[in-house]
Structure 1
Amino acid sequence: MATKTKPAAGPATFDELLTEIRQREGSLSPSHKKLAERVMSDPEAVAFMTISELAAAVGVNEATVVRFATGLGLKGYPGLTRLCRERLQEQAQLLRRFDNLEHMAAEGAGLIEQTVALDQANIARTFARIEDATWDSAVEHLARSPRVHVMGLRKCHAPAYLLGYLLRMLREDVEIVTASVGSLTDDLRRVREGDSFVAMSIHRYSADTVRAAEWARHSGAHVIAFTDNASSPLAAYAHDTFYIDASSASVLRSMTAFTSLAQAMSGGVAQLLGHRVRETLLEEEKLLSNFSVYATDATKG
């Protein structure tokens, strides 16, 4: 008598749901892709939408929403909203912690006070959502890969340059991909299987950075993404993804949390490499001294 195969359980957490969506992304219908993008980019809203509201928001019918949810292994639409609500609950404590700061900004505090409040919240939210396994994987690859490539364009150029600069102080063979005129293909030609490739971009996403991440992934490199939400095209090609808050009190998005994460990740690499970092830094100091890189103190008197 043949035994019945028990169907695989659906996603149990929101992170598992994101993984499931990404794995199926290439086979989703246009309607299901619209639903997937809404769930990944705005789970807070989906958590409290009725099925008819979500269907209307993305321009599909209610039956399509149900098929989308069950196709992912969930128990219909209630299963989808449950995972979105659990995602909110995970962050509720952190959000309450900064409630007073946000009220201060809403009540007309000055730009400096608003900036401080928002950047503190950006940093805390960014680090609170990092999974230990994702962190350990990224740090391990940045420390051990034969070569590391770091790429960030436009507003993400500064944190990408910082990460590349700090990693160069800690280890050999770190490349900063600048995508200057005609050089992107030359830079990508150096990406090899086993390398690490860090790609940074937030909405509106740099097409060159996305294409480079895709190329690196297909070349066998370990891709690490610094981006802003799960619907980012970088997330589709990354092995390790870090979602970074960039809220700002002005029209310009904040890069503070990007900078903090770049510094923290460099610190993790330094810790992992141990005594090898000390030898590298001593050699660096010797070169800086020999080439008189830094200005000497002015003579007093």
Structure 2
Amino acid sequence: MAKSILHTIERNMPTFSKGQKRIADYILQNYDKAAFMTASKLGKLSGVSESTVVRFASELGYDGYPSMQRALQEMIRSRLTSTQRIQAADNLFGGQDVLSAVIQSDMDKLRMVAEEADRTEFNKVVDLILGAGHLYILGVRTSSFVAGYLNFYLHLLSENVTLVQSNAAGEIFEQLLRIGPGDVMIAISFPRYSKVTMNTVKFAQDRGATIVAITDNELSPVYQMAEAALLAPSEMISFVDSMVAPLSLINALLIAVGSRMRSDVSRTFAELEDIWNAYGVFGKMDDE
């Protein structure tokens, strides 16, 4: 539904009440701003009440204003420029306690993942990771930090893990020279979706590797290319992305993988503890 929300509004315009037409006109002309407004603010700018905005969302077939808002956000997420992001943040957080507003927004994302995550798909991803001949982890731009976090822990659990570095396109393909059937690529991609990620995933797919996507929604390009996918929202806050929900999802994935590798994980960390102690890697509290 997110793909066609503007088309849906235009198609149903003749059936709207006078107040609903005001909302529709405002959204059609300012959808990049409306996507990040509260129902109250959208109503004020459209010249109608908040309750009229809520009824408008229901009229379009959504189960509430937040669902309509998410549909707008998903539609425009990959289209906004950095300047538009900043303007959207002003609409979303203007006049509020920014700290509380941002934390509340992240909490809402975490709650969404907890309630809506597909457990069957989650277990499928765990199986694919454990069964991979070699595991490749890909993430560029802001997703590179998420990829690095996932790689740090998976690399401790298995020697067959490669973090694909994205300094140059040619170097990426050199790192994937031996990828093939039986291997798994975890492609982490959040708006604005990078063409580098798409091209790399296509290469891995052409070589016979299985693709696992960690992304924000079903409209994401990597979702369309993946055999399995885990979804977590990363709504834009000004010029930064929120990676709280994706990182929490990855924490759950790491714990699930570790639980299935119980004895191997115990041996690995027992050996690491011996090394850390022998070489004084970490200071002791009583040394301070």
- When normalised by structure 1's length, the TM-score is 0.64
**Superposition deviation, residue 260 in structure 1:** 0.7
User: What secondary structure, in the 3-state scheme, does the structure 1 residue paired with 2:162 have?
Assistant: strand
Tell me the distance in 2 between the aligned counterparts of 1:275 and 1:240. Answer: 27
| Coordinate RMSD, CA, aligned | 3.1
User: What does residue 191 of structure 2 align with?
Assistant: 203
**Superposition deviation, residue 239 in structure 1:** 0.8
Indicate yes or no: 2:268 matched with 1:280. yes
After superposition, give the CA deviation of every residue in 1:59-101 in whole Å (9 maximum; x if it has no partner): xxxxxxxxxxxxxxxxxxxxxxxxx958x58x97xx9xxxxxx
* 2:218 counterpart (230, 251, 257): 230
Tell me the distance in 1 between the aligned counterparts of 2:175 and 2:278. Answer: 30
Indicate yes or no: 2:167 matched with 1:180. yes
Cα distance, 1:299–1:242 mapped onto 2, change above 3 Å: closer
User: What secondary structure, in the 3-state scheme, does the structure 2 residue paired with 1:135 have?
Assistant: helix
User: What does residue 112 of structure 1 align with?
Assistant: 99
Tell me the distance in 1 between the aligned counterparts of 2:141 and 2:94. Answer: 33
**Superposition deviation, residue 159 in structure 1:** 0.9
Contact 1:151 1:177 in 2 (8 A): yes
Question: What does 1:72-221 correspond to in 2, within 5 Å?
Answer: 85=61, 88=63, 108-181=95-168, 182-221=170-209
Tell me the distance in 2 between the aligned counterparts of 1:173 and 1:291. Answer: 26
After superposition, give the CA deviation of every residue in 1:207-262 in whole Å (9 maximum; x if it has no partner): 11111112222222221111222222111211112222112543312111111111
**Superposition deviation, residue 196 in structure 1:** 1.4
Contact 1:170 1:281 in 2 (8 A): no
Q: Which amino acid aligns with 1:260?
A: S
Tell me the distance in 1 between the aligned counterparts of 2:138 and 2:9. Answer: 37
User: What secondary structure, in the 3-state scheme, does the structure 2 residue paired with 1:154 have?
Assistant: coil
* 1:270 counterpart (252, 258, 272): 258
**Superposition deviation, residue 171 in structure 1:** 2.5
**Superposition deviation, residue 160 in structure 1:** 0.8
Tell me the distance in 2 between the aligned counterparts of 1:280 and 1:85. Answer: 52
Indicate yes or no: 2:221 matched with 1:259. no
Indicate yes or no: 2:230 matched with 1:242. yes
After superposition, give the CA deviation of every residue in 1:128-162 in whole Å (9 maximum; x if it has no partner): 33212210110111122122111111111111111
User: What does residue 20 of structure 2 align with?
Assistant: none
User: What secondary structure, in the 3-state scheme, does the structure 1 residue paired with 2:153 have?
Assistant: helix
Tell me the distance in 1 between the aligned counterparts of 2:157 and 2:188. Answer: 20
Q: Which amino acid aligns with 2:270?
A: L
Cα distance, 1:151–1:119 mapped onto 2, change above 3 Å: same
Tell me the distance in 2 between the aligned counterparts of 1:126 and 1:183. Answer: 35
Tell me the distance in 2 between the aligned counterparts of 1:299 and 1:281. Answer: 23
Tell me the distance in 1 between the aligned counterparts of 2:93 and 2:174. Answer: 48
Q: Which amino acid aligns with 1:233?
A: P
User: What secondary structure, in the 3-state scheme, does the structure 1 residue paired with 2:230 have?
Assistant: strand
Contact 1:114 1:249 in 2 (8 A): no
Cα distance, 1:121–1:188 mapped onto 2, change above 3 Å: same
Contact 1:199 1:225 in 2 (8 A): yes
After superposition, give the CA deviation of every residue in 1:163-188 in whole Å (9 maximum; x if it has no partner): 11111222231111112234201211
User: What secondary structure, in the 3-state scheme, does the structure 1 residue paired with 2:253 have?
Assistant: helix
